[in-house]
Amino acid sequence: MTYMSTTEKRSGGQNLFDRVMDIISGIFIPIVNVIMAAGLLKGILMLLVNANLLQQTDGAYQMLYAISDGFFHFLPVFLAFTASKKLKADTFTSVMLAAALVYPDITALFKNGTQMDLFGIPIREVTYPSSVIPIIMAVGLQHYVERPLEKYLPNAIKGFLKPMITLTVVTPITFLVFGPLGSMIGEALAGVYALLYNLSPVAAGVIFGLIWQPMVVFGLQWGLVPVIIDNISTLGMDSILPLLGPAVMGQAGAALAVSILTKDKELKSISMSGSITAILGITEPVLYGVTVPLKRPMIAACIAGAIGGGIVGTSSASAVSFAFPSMVTLVVYFGEGFWTFLIAMVIGFILGFVLTLIIRFEEPVKSQAGDISQDNASNTVSYDCL
């Protein structure tokens, strides 16, 4: 499926919050499939090791682990590439900046607790491999540093002098300011979630299960991605992702119910195919083509997600790597609480299906010209439960 950015989904002006969400989604969307692939591969390797089918000392394991873990280790490099496209900065300069952040010697110094300073100013120890926020901030600053250089530097020396000056300015600021600031923001976001989860995992499950798909509608889900990646990087697991699974399956169940209830052949086809893609973890076709336009199925799916999320919250289910919940990424969630998570996914699907059948929906009637008429409430058909 082709993902749409927040800008593509909405028209008109954007406030600051919308702009931030649009930037985050525009940076992550191009690499989301690779993130999922790397996360799924890491989960499969974990499963093979637990089943004694593969040893961590085997060459095959080490090579495949390098593929999956290498992506997350060098994530700032990938983000530098996509961020440069979104923020209109020079791509190779952005990648070079990210390479400096994850340079092995720098990483080793921070890991060993060696104090670094820049012109007498101490540099705070920050783990840059797998980090998200610092490189995005750095590329944002890079854009503004490059603009006057592009305008005023002579063409004869611009090609090499512009990236050199840019890196000389942006890199120290990143180490001194953006790294610590990004780390604090990440810790704050993770702390807020941890506070809610520790207060009541069930309540956290209900809340996230209820709001997850509305967040997807407005492109806000990408704001959680840095928190999830940070959890996996620092804790080796994440408890947010499992809470979202039933919400995804609730959309699949609601779409299946719509395909059964509707007499419109086009809507029936969209609903059926959308149900399948939702089971595979992609809910955008269902959201924009079925549940949101019909409203009531969206309510049913959100209720199903809330109940299922609450069930997941009773367990200690977690994801060992990044992979949005679906029936094809279950291996990432294998471990403590897995069966509760799987049962909650099934319950989410069933509830989304049954609730949609119960509360029904009003489907716009097509005019003779073939378009959808929504002029008044009389131009709708209410479908009873079969």
**In-domain check, residue 8:** no
Out of 164, 199, 234, a domain closes at 199
> Does one domain contain both 126 and 111?
yes
* Phi, psi dihedrals of residue 279, rounded to the nearest 5°: -60, -30
Q: Are 67 and 358 in contact (CB under 8 A)?
A: no
Please determine, for residue 370, whether its predicted confidence score (pLDDT) is greater than 70: no
Region for 85 from its dihedrals, namely left if φ exceeds 0, alpha if ψ lies in -120 to 50, beta otherwise: alpha
C-alpha torsion 323→327→330→332, nearest 10: -10
Same domain, 175 and 251: no
Are 281 and 182 in a shared domain?
Answer: no
Q: Please check whether residues 117 and 26 belong to one and the same domain.
A: yes
In a domain, 7, yes or no: no
pLDDT at 147 over 90: yes
Q: Give how many domains the chain has, as a whole number.
A: 2
Q: Return d(Cα 8, Cα 118) in angstroms, integer.
A: 42
350: number of Cβ within 10 Å = 15
Partners of 122 in the β-ladder: 117
Residue that is last in its domain, among 175, 199, 223: 199
With 60 as the cut, is the pLDDT of residue 249 above it? Answer: yes
Is residue 379 over pLDDT 50?
no
The dihedral built from the CA positions of residue 322, 327, 331 and 334, taken in this order, carries a sign that is: positive
- Same domain for 194 and 235: no
| pLDDT for 235 | 83
Do 212 and 353 sit in the same domain of this protein? yes
Same domain? 39 vs 76:
yes
pLDDT of residue 371: 44
Contact 293, 305 (CB under 8 A): no
pLDDT score at 110: 84
Among 19-28, 53-62, 174-183, 202-211, name the most confident range: 202-211
**Under 8 Å between Cβ of 166 and 145:** yes
Cα(154)–Cα(156) distance, rounded to whole angstroms? Answer: 5
Domain that holds residue 242: 206-382
Q: Which two tokens stand for residue 131?
A: 């980090």
Is residue 1 assigned to a domain? Answer: no
Check whether residue 163 and residue 48 sit in a common domain.
yes
Tell me which of 155, 183, 199 is where a domain ends: 199
Residue 385 DSSP label: P
Burial class of residue 264 (count of CB atoms within 10 Å of its CB; 0-12, 13-18, 19+): middle
* Residues facing residue 363 across a β-bridge: 381
Contact 265, 253 (CB under 8 A): no
Instruction: Report pLDDT for 365.
Output: 58
Cα 209 from chain centroid?
Answer: 15
What 3-state class would DSSP assign to 377?
Answer: helix
**226 and 365 housed in the same domain:** yes
For residue 101, being part of any structural domain is answered with yes
At 319, is the secondary structure helix, strand, or coil? Answer: strand
CA dist., res. 385 & res. 357, Å (int): 5
Judged against a pLDDT cut of 90, whether residue 335 lies above it is answered with no
Task: Output the average pLDDT for the chain.
Answer: 84
Query: Range with the lowest mean pLDDT among 82-96, 161-175, 311-325?
Result: 311-325
For residue 370, report the phi and psi dihedrals to the nearest 5 degrees: 100, -5
| pTM of the predicted protein model | 0.71
Q: What is the tens place of the pLDDT at every residue in 51-108?
A: 788 888 888 889 998 988 888 889 899 999 999 999 999 999 999 999 999 999 888 8
**Residues 37 and 169 occupy one common structural domain:** yes
DSSP annotation of 222: G
pLDDT of residue 262 exceeding 80 = yes
281 lies in the same domain as 228: yes
